[in-house]
Structure 1
Amino acid sequence: MSDTTQQNKDFRGVSRRRFIAGTSSILGAMTLAGHAAAAAEQVVTAAGPIASGAHVPVLVIGTGYGGSVAALRLAQAGVDVQMIEMGMAWDTPGSDGKIFANTTSPDYRSYWLRTRTKQPLSNFLGFPIDKDVPLYTGILDAEEMGGIIVYQGRGVGGGSLVNGGMAVTPKRENFGAILPSVDADEMYGTYYPRANAGLGVGTVDPTWFESADCYQYARVGRKQAQRSGFPFVFVPDVYDWDYMEQEAAGTVPKSALAGEILYGNNYGKKSLQKTYLAQAAATGKVTISPLHKVTSVSPAAAGGYTVVIDQLNTTGGTTATKTVTADRVFFAAGSVGTSKLLVKLKATGALPSLNSEIGQGWGDNGNVMCGRANHLWDPTGALQASIPCGGIDNWTAGGAFAEVAPLPTGIETYASFYLSITKNPNRAQFSWNATTNSVDLNWQTAWKQPAIDMAKSIFDKINAKEGTIYRTDLFGTYKIWGDHLTYHPLGGAVLNKATDNYGRLQGYSGLYVIDGSLIPGNTSVNPFVTITALAERNIETIIATDL
């Protein structure tokens, strides 16, 4: 009997009891090393990139939240897993000795295959701030499509590399509108706690917060919100808060207090490289192939699926094309990546039996940004922690939750800055364009107007109370609203529509979706905890019933 045959037999024989026992043990042991975790721990790719002709029990496309959960839980259940990642491993320091570039000094590491930066704030004090950079497979993709720029992380760890780490569990009363086919009792009793434990979620020490210079901007935001009658809430995060306190004391290299956020964080943030992926690597059963891009998945004649993969160089060129066979494939390339790939595979005949829901239900989580100009007696601080720790909740009354965001420029700006998540109902669709051989998204910038109106339910009132005005110099010339982007793409392969209620793709046994494309467009808060918890829920059932 071949090793592969035995692996497949072991895979199919995994019991629910064995899986749950493995899950319990890993969570029990998952106390993250506080200060040691501050170093840039990277996931080793073990045996190197996947070889053409390989036959693997499970292939996971993507190394973000959903894919990392799937890889860890499958590995714990005794399954060998091959992960395919389009971005880099991010395990080699640059000439400055650091893995990641600083937010205020973007360089070749900053953007995915662009020759000019595309920063969320395109202007500052009336001047454009984008600049030319060398073409490189950098960490942040600013993908322009359908009237919106979608920011996505590129590399081992996916979006966890470039987000602010705000780890928010939605309010229980909002959950029914987020995932109506999912049992809320199970999510809040089992899977949200499991996700928060696995991600290493914590909250800033309120006592330290009150005196920390780096959170003066958040305290100003709190004061102004409360004076207008809005509740300010502390928001959990995956940053190592002990490390941040040491940054403030000057005893460790600065990370959040050096403004690191947009292009990666060198020390303090618990990205997936330090949590789920580190645990997965420790099993010895997970191999990651960076700079590899899946271009096709189709049924193999002898069973399983034929997967075609391009190996990339650091300027985006293809250096090799590989064909491998996988018994099962998990799509975890993120909302945009998974949706675009599935739409292409359906339209071009590789997976023609995918249903008509593929590509539907895509949303931007209602993202909209704005800044406010404060009075001189309300400075927000030259030193600002790049990790947000609080927000303004007006979801019930006005359909908006606004994180009080940093503006870490290194100078006093007297500005308050916000990223709002709103109850924007508009949804877009991905479709195949046969003329260009590419996938289009039909989002229209005008569809952001409901999000703007909902954000205004907070900030018009604060401006009226404080006698302040909106900043008009951050997103262009005399432009108030950052309505051109999203950090939180969701949907495109919606749960219980494009898939069954656990992410199994309709029409194909052994194909699964396990990322943010399952969530129909909105989570009411920052989405990655919900993506992680849903993946925990789904993979537990898939292992127990399918394998």
Structure 2
Amino acid sequence: MTVRTTSQASPRRSGAGVGHADVVVVGSGFGGSVAAYRLAEAGLSVVVLERGRAYPPGSFARTPAETGRAFWDPGSGLYGLFDVWSFRGCDAVVASGLGGGSLIFANVLLRKDERWFVTEQPLPGGGHESWPVGRADLEPHYDAVERMMGAVPYPLHRPGYADTPKTRALREAAAALGLEFQLPPLAVAFAPSPDAEPQPGLPVDGPREGNLHGSDRRTCRLCGECNIGCNEGAKNSLDFTYLSAARRHGADLRTGHDVQAVRPGPRGGYQVDYVRYTGTGPDAGEPGSREPGRRPPTGTLTCDRLVLAAGTLGTTQLLLRSRNRLPGLGPALGTRFSTNGDTLSFLLRAKDRRTGGSRPLNPSQGPVITGALRLPDELDGHPGAGRGGYIEDGGYPQFVQWLAEGARGPQQLSRAARFLTRRLTGRLGLTSGRHLSKDLSDLLGDGLLTSTSLPLLGMGRDIPDGELRLRGGRLDVGWTPAHSADELRRIHATMRRIADVLDAGYADNPLWHLGRTVTVHPLGGVPMSSRPETGVCDPFGEVHGHPGLYIADGSALPGPVGANPSLTIAALADRMCTRLLEARAGGGNGAVPRPAYARRTSLVFTERMRGYYVPGATDPECAERGGAQREHFAFRLTVTADDLDAFLDDPEHQARADGWVESPGCGGRRPVLHGRFHLFAPASAGGGQEAGGTDPAGADVRRVLRYRLHFTDSQERPCTFAGHKQITHAATLRLWPDTTVLPFRVLAGHSADPLDPEAAVLGAGRLRLGLRDLAHQLSTFRTTGPDGTAALARFGEFFLGRLWASYSPYARPPGGGTPSP
């Protein structure tokens, strides 16, 4: 089937040649598609940039040759649907195509449980899970998305759909275990129209031009192929719903556009840099092959508002790459990663207790998911229940049954040997004649393994304590199932109980025993919060400190949904658009306020230091003698001077410090909630750790590099890191130790004045800046705003001038006739 491109001009907009739009949406999943429709419907010019291609019905891979190319890795010439990420603690499967995850999701549109919108719920490893929105905030948006997606429960009691034994089996197990069962809303067309009787395989009503593919659609024929793309068009995926509506309202949908970086525009708004994967055939604009070694063409779009909806992994990676271009992104960037408790196990060879025979479950009969069993949560009023979740019946295409039966090596060989023996003895006349039909039937087997087995899919409120970061330029996830072991074991235990009820064997996903899991619902990384210290975006998805920059995908979620998250992501995006359009209507011409940083030049750099810490030491000198009591201590800080001119003019030369501190005695890696860095600030006039005068070696101390970092330990007790490097007027040889050794103390409380004699000292230590760390630090200096090169030169002149005045043998000491800088 020929794929119709979606990158051509829309009838109302100027098309692929437009260089500026009111709104650019990056990604076309559940958040991006909702944003594209709502904003285009309101009359804004909208451009959607999707890296993958369009998939009309009939274009999803089915043959081995097609499936071998159905993966996403542009560096290897692969531009397919499935993007599989492998990290140290988990693997993740996401989609690449017009419609995002809706192309391969299992159609479930469950709402997040009302009590699971927690606020300040303590987490076992420290910190809290906190949702700044509640179920009441999302109810009207849940309603709107369900209407648009055509959400209906599986019609189990209707002719044509009644023969679905896996659904009845799960309902029976739920009743036996005293657990709540439901037929969840599914984004599937079971009937030709909303008021018609459900029946498989009928044409779905509506003109061909009603969807952007211009393709015919048929109602669900129960083939179990939802997760590999529906070739019938029965799934109400985003390309048939929100994206088709967005295009009718003039949205420009551009496939094959992979966004690489975003940055503020020089006069406000944002600039979006992308590469374009173009095919060589008739479907220009679709991802396809290119000459080996040849780089894809690049481009840049500008916009007044930018919506990032590239998925949890894509959006977080994009912001991490663009962090130096977007000064002020909070310390929470990359935090709160969660797998949404995704769990997979298998029921094997179910039995019918009444007859003693096999019990058919037929996992390939029906949509992938038809029923859901809910695990209660202690928040529901069940003390000791733990964190709740859902277990759902799984399914797979019929051809997978052939693969599974064929993979049973010994049984297959045994049947083949019997078949050949019978045929040979018959040819030799050693046995009486047999019908070949019976021998062929025996050769194929009874298929009981696959017909009486069933995958179970679990989700739940796992611990959102993972961290996303860049390692060697690539996204890396610091997450392990061990931190969520209690929650995951509870899901596994309930699955075993379901197996017992159905008199079936039980098998975990083999990866579970290797300490790994596979998630299809990665969440977090750009979490929402009402406060910039604890979140990247606000409860409406707008990034703190960056007006007009929005997050509209799973990365904004501050914790797991516990149920399938697609509906919640879409509802949050719908709510975001309502607030955006209300603000636009109240702002006269609707122009986005020009950010303050667009009128000034900012400076950003990153510093990493490592050393030791001695709990209980009262000062760094005591820590020096700590010996065996020493433990590792480190920090990584991103220092930001939002206005470089003001920073240089300020006598204290104060800048913001975001990042983390790390030490076993402080609870592991802890985010900096509020940090300040002072460069060449005057030393304190009084006594204490930062007093002016002379150091123990007799050198004159006039300035310090001061660090003040507020954080909390694993028990959420407030702490302050207070450190300083003394800049002395001394011989040149003192330059290296003075600027690379940082003595520090850790104080109880969030102290505004670390010289306060009432502040309790928890410990002390020293950090050092190694040569490799210094080289890395020098490579991280970036400026944003007008005259960046000149601004960086001014900073260099200031920095080197201070060092020259202190350590050059040609600079006169204070009191020698030349004032100290």
TM-score, normalised on structure 1? 0.79
Please name the residue that 1:165 is paired with: 107
How far residue 426 of structure 1 moved from its aligned partner, in angstroms, is 4.2
Q: Which of the numbers 374, 380, 385 marks the counterpart of 2:366?
A: 385
How far residue 335 of structure 1 moved from its aligned partner, in angstroms, is 1.0
Partner Cα separation in structure 1 for residue 510 and residue 159 of structure 2: 30
Please name the residue that 1:354 is paired with: 329
Q: For residues 236 and 105 of structure 1, do their structure 2 counterparts lie closer, same or farther at Cα, with a shift above 3 Å needed? A: farther
Partner Cα separation in structure 2 for residue 103 and residue 165 of structure 1: 24
Q: Which of the numbers 252, 268, 281 marks the counterpart of 2:247?
A: 281
Which structure has more relative contact order (CA 8 Å, sep 6+)? It is: 1
Q: Which of the numbers 13, 16, 25 marks the counterpart of 1:60?
A: 25
Please name the residue that 1:343 is paired with: 320
Per-residue deviation, residues 17-46 of structure 1 (Å, max 9, x unmatched): xxxxxxxxxxxxxxxxxxxxxx99988434
Please name the residue that 1:241 is paired with: 190
1:530 aligns with 2:481: no
Residues paired across the two proteins, number: 476
1:432 aligns with 2:470: yes
Please name the residue that 1:128 is paired with: none
Q: For residues 187 and 41 of structure 1, do their structure 2 counterparts lie closer, same or farther at Cα, with a shift above 3 Å needed? A: farther
Q: For residues 143 and 315 of structure 1, do their structure 2 counterparts lie closer, same or farther at Cα, with a shift above 3 Å needed? A: farther
Alpha carbons 2:112, 2:135 under 8 Å: kept? no
Partner Cα separation in structure 1 for residue 108 and residue 363 of structure 2: 22
Taking the TM superposition and a 5 Å limit, the aligned residue runs for 1:507-522 are: 507-522=545-560
Please name the residue that 2:155 is paired with: 205
Which 10-residue stretch deviates more, 44-53 or 534-543? 44-53
Per-residue deviation, residues 474-515 of structure 1 (Å, max 9, x unmatched): 647xx7799521111111111121112211112222211111
Please name the residue that 2:47 is paired with: 82
How far residue 257 of structure 1 moved from its aligned partner, in angstroms, is 2.6
Partner Cα separation in structure 2 for residue 382 and residue 338 of structure 1: 35
Please name the residue that 1:364 is paired with: 339
Q: For residues 220 and 250 of structure 1, do their structure 2 counterparts lie closer, same or farther at Cα, with a shift above 3 Å needed? A: farther
Please name the residue that 2:390 is paired with: 401
Q: Which of the numbers 505, 519, 530 marks the counterpart of 1:486?
A: 519
1:152 aligns with 2:141: no
Alpha carbons 1:239, 1:387 under 8 Å: kept? no
Q: For residues 77 and 54 of structure 1, do their structure 2 counterparts lie closer, same or farther at Cα, with a shift above 3 Å needed? A: same
Q: Which amino acid aligns with 1:532?
A: A
Per-residue deviation, residues 371-396 of structure 1 (Å, max 9, x unmatched): 11222432112751233111111132
Partner Cα separation in structure 1 for residue 33 and residue 477 of structure 2: 27
Partner Cα separation in structure 2 for residue 402 and residue 246 of structure 1: 27
How far residue 248 of structure 1 moved from its aligned partner, in angstroms, is 6.6
Per-residue deviation, residues 214-237 of structure 1 (Å, max 9, x unmatched): x21221222233223323211110
1:70 aligns with 2:35: yes
How far residue 185 of structure 1 moved from its aligned partner, in angstroms, is 2.1
Q: For residues 274 and 179 of structure 1, do their structure 2 counterparts lie closer, same or farther at Cα, with a shift above 3 Å needed? A: farther
1:324 aligns with 2:295: no
Q: For residues 311 and 383 of structure 1, do their structure 2 counterparts lie closer, same or farther at Cα, with a shift above 3 Å needed? A: closer
Which 10-residue stretch deviates more, 81-90 or 481-490? 481-490
Partner Cα separation in structure 2 for residue 104 and residue 239 of structure 1: 27
Alpha carbons 1:345, 1:352 under 8 Å: kept? no
Please name the residue that 1:450 is paired with: 486
Per-residue deviation, residues 310-332 of structure 1 (Å, max 9, x unmatched): 11242587420112222221111
Q: Which runs of 5+ in 2 are unaligned?
A: 120-128, 205-216, 279-287, 352-356, 378-384, 402-446, 530-534, 585-589, 591-821
Per-residue deviation, residues 363-417 of structure 1 (Å, max 9, x unmatched): 0101011011222432112751233111111132462310111144345521121
Partner Cα separation in structure 2 for residue 151 and residue 293 of structure 1: 18
Which structure features the higher share of strand residues? 2
Taking the TM superposition and a 5 Å limit, the aligned residue runs for 1:491-510 are: 491-496=524-529, 497-510=535-548
Per-residue deviation, residues 37-57 of structure 1 (Å, max 9, x unmatched): xx9998843418975781222
Q: Which amino acid aligns with 1:306?
A: Q
Q: Which of the numbers 225, 228, 233 marks the counterpart of 1:260?
A: 225
Please name the residue that 1:126 is paired with: none
Partner Cα separation in structure 1 for residue 270 and residue 457 of structure 2: 41
Alpha carbons 2:527, 2:556 under 8 Å: kept? yes
Partner secondary structure for residue 262 of structure 1? helix
Which 10-residue stretch deviates more, 137-146 or 395-404? 395-404
TM-score, normalised on structure 2? 0.54
Q: For residues 483 and 197 of structure 1, do their structure 2 counterparts lie closer, same or farther at Cα, with a shift above 3 Å needed? A: farther
Q: For residues 273 and 491 of structure 1, do their structure 2 counterparts lie closer, same or farther at Cα, with a shift above 3 Å needed? A: same
Alpha carbons 2:113, 2:135 under 8 Å: kept? no
Please name the residue that 1:461 is paired with: 497
Alpha carbons 2:332, 2:527 under 8 Å: kept? yes
How far residue 353 of structure 1 moved from its aligned partner, in angstroms, is 2.0
Partner Cα separation in structure 2 for residue 40 and residue 385 of structure 1: 28
Please name the residue that 1:334 is paired with: 311
Please name the residue that 1:471 is paired with: 507
Alpha carbons 1:53, 1:322 under 8 Å: kept? no
Partner Cα separation in structure 1 for residue 272 and residue 21 of structure 2: 11
Please name the residue that 2:142 is paired with: 192
How far residue 532 of structure 1 moved from its aligned partner, in angstroms, is 0.8
Per-residue deviation, residues 408-461 of structure 1 (Å, max 9, x unmatched): 43455211211101221142111232xx22232112243453343121341232
Q: Which of the numbers 236, 250, 269 marks the counterpart of 1:304?
A: 269
Q: Which amino acid aligns with 1:156?
A: L
Partner Cα separation in structure 2 for residue 293 and residue 257 of structure 1: 35
Per-residue deviation, residues 122-169 of structure 1 (Å, max 9, x unmatched): xxxxxxxxxxxx953111111112321111111110000011111111
Q: For residues 254 and 270 of structure 1, do their structure 2 counterparts lie closer, same or farther at Cα, with a shift above 3 Å needed? A: closer
Partner secondary structure for residue 272 of structure 1? coil
Partner Cα separation in structure 1 for residue 289 and residue 481 of structure 2: 31
Per-residue deviation, residues 193-249 of structure 1 (Å, max 9, x unmatched): 111112211112241289633x21221222233223323211110011126953379
Which 10-residue stretch deviates more, 78-87 or 226-235? 226-235
Q: For residues 230 and 480 of structure 1, do their structure 2 counterparts lie closer, same or farther at Cα, with a shift above 3 Å needed? A: farther
Q: Which amino acid aligns with 1:45?
A: S
1:143 aligns with 2:80: no
Q: Which amino acid aligns with 2:518?
A: L
Please name the residue that 1:220 is paired with: 169
Partner secondary structure for residue 186 of structure 2? coil
Q: Which amino acid aligns with 2:345?
A: C
Q: For residues 482 and 455 of structure 1, do their structure 2 counterparts lie closer, same or farther at Cα, with a shift above 3 Å needed? A: farther
Q: Which runs of 5+ in 1 are unaligned?
A: 1-38, 116-133
Partner Cα separation in structure 2 for residue 228 and residue 105 of structure 1: 45
Partner Cα separation in structure 2 for residue 257 and residue 355 of structure 1: 47
Q: For residues 64 and 185 of structure 1, do their structure 2 counterparts lie closer, same or farther at Cα, with a shift above 3 Å needed? A: same
Partner Cα separation in structure 1 for residue 473 and residue 15 of structure 2: 27
Q: For residues 47 and 337 of structure 1, do their structure 2 counterparts lie closer, same or farther at Cα, with a shift above 3 Å needed? A: same
Q: For residues 283 and 241 of structure 1, do their structure 2 counterparts lie closer, same or farther at Cα, with a shift above 3 Å needed? A: same
